[in-house]
Amino acid sequence: MVGTTGNRRTLYSKKVIIEAFLLLLQEKNLNKITVTDICKEADINRGTFYSYYNDPFDLMRSIEEEMIEKMMSAINITEEQNILNELLKLILINKELCKIIFNEKNSSHVLNTILNSVHDITIAEIKKHLPNADETHLEYFFTYSTGGIIEAIRKWINDDMKIPTEEVVKILESMNVTQ
């Protein structure tokens, strides 16, 4: 049945829509992409697009949510000290997609969502190293350190991920003042 999740036609349609959209994102900002642009690039009709997505922003949300699910799965099966390494490996596997969704101009919330999901674990770790810090200081430290991690990951992505993930993790860990 058309439109059924898992149906080959549905999977194909979504695949070509996403591929066309990602190509367009390499050329234009999200707010400049229209459904018509996507349909022309994917060689589909508007009805096909609208059977899966409301607009380009809905499509972007869908792509981001799928990436978040993948990253959360990696986090949930990983030991605390290896979370960053696993996230970087997942980014590397999804290199082209991540170059687009983590680009500053697309202002993706994926990295913020993932890093905030480990908020409590991170705060507990910071408390071990800064036992006298109050909640306000802990929150500021968390915000400061996750902001730095996000920008370092963006730099790594923008540098075409040439440095191995393990080396990026070592660099980030060497900057951790709570160690």
pLDDT tops 60 at residue 3 = no
Residues 42 and 70 in one domain: no
Percent of the chain surpassing pLDDT 90 = 33
If you write DSSP's letter for every residue of the chain in order, what string do you get? -TT-TT-HHHHHHHHHHHHHHHHHHHHS-GGG--HHHHHHHHT--HHHHHTT-SSHHHHHHHHHHHHHHHHHHHHHTS-GGGHHHHHHHHHHHTHHHHHHHTSGGGT--HHHHHHHHTHHHHHHHHHHH-TT--HHHHHHHHHHHHHHHHHHHHHHHHTTT-S-HHHHHHHHHHT-TT-
82 with 167, same domain: the answer is yes
Question: What pLDDT, on a 0 to 100 scale, did the predictor assign at position 90?
Answer: 86
Whether 58 maps to a domain, the answer reads no
The string of pLDDT tens digits covering residues 118-144 is 788 788 888 888 899 999 999 998 888
- Is residue 34 domain-resident? yes
Query: Same domain, yes or no, for 33 and 71?
Result: no
Q: Which residue has the higher pLDDT, 108 or 45?
A: 45
Is residue 83 assigned to a domain?
yes
User: The domain containing residue 16 runs over which residues?
Assistant: 1-53
Task: For residues 49 and 72, state if they share a domain.
Answer: no
